[in-house]
Amino acid sequence: EHVKSSDCVIVLGDFNGRLARNTKGYTGKYSVHSRTDTNGQAVLDLMVNSGLFAASTKFQPTWKSSRRGKGNATYIMAKSPGATTAPAQIDHILISKRHLNSVRNSQVRWGQAYKRFGYRFDHGMVIMSVKVQLKKPRPRPSIPDWGALINCEDTQARFDAAVRTVTKDDRV
C-alpha cells in the first residue's frame, strides 16, 4: 500500500538478519556485524524499497554492554563452554529516513532474560526513544455556497442593476 511521505513508518521485529555496519543511507556505524547475511539482504531490500533506516544500528551501545563485548547484540546463544556462536544483532527497529532525526536513542534491554535465565540468553528487547512533534491542525477556510445565489431574487436584482450601471457608463 502507498504511504504518504509525511507519515512516520516504524517497523520492529525479529528479522533474523544481520545487517552490515555503515551501509550508506541504511545502517549506522554501531551494527555488530561487518557483513550482511542472506536474511539481512532481505531486510535491506525492504529498507531500500520502503525508504527505511535501521535505527537500532545508529546509536552507540551503553558502556556496560560494550565492556562485556556484547555491544548492540540482540541474540545470544547458550552460556556454555562449547558455545561457538558469537552474539548477533538480528532484531531491528526500522524507521522512515525522513523521521530519523526524531529518534533520540536505541538500545537493548536484557532485564527479562536476567529474570528468566539469570544471564543474557536468547533475545534482548530492543527499545527506541522518539521525540514526536505534532502540528496543530489548521482550520479549513469556509467555501462560499454559490448555489444559494441562484435562488436569491434580491441578490439577482442587485447584480442586474450593477451590470446595467456598468454598461451605461461604458456607452458614454
Check residue 82 and give its pLDDT.
Answer: 59
Other beta carbons less than 10 A from residue 41's beta carbon: 14
Is pLDDT of 52 > 90?
A: yes
Check residue 129 and give its pLDDT.
Answer: 87
Arithmetic mean of pLDDT over the chain = 79
Give tens-digit pLDDT for 104-130.
Answer: 888 777 777 767 776 666 777 788 888
Is pLDDT of 42 > 90?
A: yes
**Coil, strand or helix at 147:** helix
pLDDT above 90 coverage of the chain, percent = 13
- The phi, psi pair for 141, rounded to 5°, reads -65, 145
Give tens-digit pLDDT for 140-157.
Answer: 888 877 776 677 788 778
Per-residue cell: 168: 451605461
The answer for residues whose C-beta is within 8 angstroms of residue 32's C-beta and 6 or more apart is: 18, 21, 71, 72, 73, 87, 88, 89
**Pairing outcome for strands 91-96 and 52-54:** antiparallel
* Number of Cα atoms under 13 Å in the Cβ half of residue 145: 5
Check residue 45 and give its pLDDT.
Answer: 93
Burial of 24 (0-12, 13-18, 19+ CB in 10 A): exposed
pTM over 0.85: no
Q: How confident is the model at residue 79 (pLDDT cuts 50, 70, 90)?
A: low
